[in-house]
Copies of this chain bind each other. A is one copy, B any other.
């Protein structure tokens, strides 16, 4: 493109935050955004495959400066990958591909923020981290979610979004927060396995639950955020909106503390099912992702030895 063209006011590129290409080279980026528009086992309202796209679009309107932390989190380096189009051959094949992607990204030492898509995609990154950390460093999983997702099988498959935590719960230290819809069997499993669950109605009783959640986590933590954790007033755009969910600032306080006091190894934000013409939930998800980057940046600025 010649000079006369180049100097015109072109719009921001389509990546997380709309950053200039020069700033976001893969090699120098500490953070990698991995969009996974996978939607195979559906809940009531569908459309989670549009989630990553709409989060990226909204992210371009987010201010780069974080006034709460007085920082510029994007300076950590944020590279956005293209959408990963998982195989249509069935969930086993699809999730195997996703595992391969995470293995490669972790080998390259990236901090991956995966955008879903349905919740079943959280299993491969968790399993990749478990494998990577090895038996001596047990992984904790902080699950922000309305549903338990602890069924052994759902609709004829163990790969359903309703089963994702069951698939990993024996290999990790699971800490579910915001739960408000489970089966009898899930409740029993929680009791038997002593899963330190924080139910949604407990969030309505002061903020003591934040300490409890942080305390229940080990040193290494993966965070999976099913966007239906939030109250449907904030995020109606999800498959099965359950009343009585989490609020914005308390959630941030929890996340800020986890990043400050634990080693967060990866994150995902899933189950946004955008509503056409109703963008507020997309903005919330995008800003949430940027807050995660901000907390990540601060943690690694303060404790640079941590990242590895």
Please list the residues of chain A having a beta carbon within 8 angstroms of any beta carbon in chain B.
1-2, 4-5, 8-14, 26, 37, 39-47, 49, 58, 61-65, 67-68, 70, 72, 81-93, 97, 100-101, 103-105, 107-108, 154-157, 159-160, 179-184, 187, 199, 201, 204, 231-234, 236, 240-244, 248-249, 252, 275-280, 283-284, 287-288
Contact = CB atoms under 8 A, between A and B. Distances in A.
Contacts of A2: 104, 107-108
- With most chain B CB atoms within 10 A of its CB, the pick from A88, A101, A275 is A88
B82 A287 contact: no
B1 A156 contact: no
Contacts of A12: 82
Given A65-B184, A234-B233, A278 B279 contact: no
A8 to B, nearest CB: 6
- Chain copies in complex: 6
30 contacts: A1-B81, A2-B104, A2-B107, A5-B105, A8-B84, A9-B84, A9-B87, A10-B82, A11-B82, A11-B84, A11-B85, A39-B46, A44-B61, A46-B49, A62-B181, A63-B181, A64-B183, A65-B182, A65-B183, A70-B187, A88-B91, A88-B156, A89-B157, A90-B91, A201-B249, A231-B233, A231-B248, A232-B280, A236-B279, A244-B249
B49 A37 contact: no
Given A2-B108, A101-B5, A204-B249, A41 B241 contact: no
Nearest to A60: B44
A83 B283 contact: no
B81 A199 contact: no
B155 A41 contact: no
B11 A83 contact: yes
Given A10-B85, A46-B49, A103 B4 contact: yes
B1 A101 contact: no
Contact of A68 (B83, B86, B201): B201
Given A9-B85, A85-B155, A159-B88, A47 B46 contact: yes
A132 to B, nearest CB: 15
Most buried by B among A2, A8, A68: A8
Nearest to A35: B11
Contacts of A45: 279
A283 to B, nearest CB: 5
A40 to B, nearest CB: 6
Nearest to A250: B204
Contact of A9 (B10, B44, B64, B156): B156
Contacts of A4: 100, 103-104, 107
A248 B246 CA distance: 12
Contacts of A287: 242-243
